[in-house]
């Protein structure tokens, strides 16, 4: 696996702060969300934080497999659909949550299921950003975000040493 040009490691503390910041932004968007749909697997962790902060009790998942390895996005497959009751009125009053929108391909599939739902992610890249209603941080398209659940604790070389070889 070749490493991306730009790496953006996110600690558990930072991710929790960013998820709470997203909840804060969402608190002024809708009077009361009727449900939350999180995109698995990345949306599970922010969904837990946001549902607590906003008092959302009805949480559903939509399961879309997209990253087949950690360097390239493979073919998208919907492994589990959303409960049909949440699709009424094109998802109006539903909050969709994911950790990241990258190319926008996953977002487009879920957005097509619920076009009137509110789509929120913690991080957004330029290609996926037009599909997202609310996000916290935009990163460049060539940046790879290393989420805390994908990392272990180990020594990291200083940037100056990495550049030398």
- In DSSP notation, 67-134 reads ESSSSSEEEEEEEEPPPGGGGGGGGTTEEEEEEEESSSHHHHHHHHH-TTSEEEEEEE-TTTGGG-SE
Active site residue 69: no
pLDDT, one tens digit per residue, over 92-125 is 999 999 999 999 999 999 999 999 999 999 999 9
**Residue 99 labelled as part of a binding site:** yes
**Residue 98 labelled as part of a binding site:** yes
Domain 6-152: which CATH class?
Answer: alpha beta
pLDDT, one tens digit per residue, over 7-48 is 999 999 999 999 999 999 999 887 789 999 999 999 999 999
Q: Where are the domains of the chain?
A: 6-152
Q: Regarding beta strands 134-138 and 59-67, do their DSSP bridges make them parallel or antiparallel, or are they unpaired?
A: unpaired
> Of 13, 18, 99, 150, which is the active-site residue?
99
**Residue 3 labelled as part of a binding site:** no
> Of 13, 102, 142, 150, which is the active-site residue?
102
What's residue 96's pLDDT? 98
Active site residue 99: yes
């Amino acid at each position: 696996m070749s490493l991306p040009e730009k790496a953006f490691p996110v600690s558990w503390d930072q991710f929790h702060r960013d998820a709470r910041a997203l909840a804060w932004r969402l608190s002024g968007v809708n009077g009361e969300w009727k449900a939350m749909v999180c995109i698995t697997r990345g949306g599970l962790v922010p969904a837990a934080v946001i549902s607590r902060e906003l008092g959302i009790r009805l949480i559903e998942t939509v399961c879309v497999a997209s990253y087949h390895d950690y360097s390239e996005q493979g073919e998208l497959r919907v492994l589990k659909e959303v409960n049909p009751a949440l699709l009424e009125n094109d998802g109006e009053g539903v909050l969709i949550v994911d950790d990241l929108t990258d190319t926008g391909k996953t977002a487009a599939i879920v957005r097509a299921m619920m076009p009137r739902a509110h789509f929120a992610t913690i991080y957004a890249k330029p290609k996926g950003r037009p599909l997202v209603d609310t996000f916290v941080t935009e990163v460049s398209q060539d940046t790879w975000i290393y989420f805390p659940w994908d990392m272990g604790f180990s020594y990291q070389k200083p940037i100056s040493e990495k550049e030398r070889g």
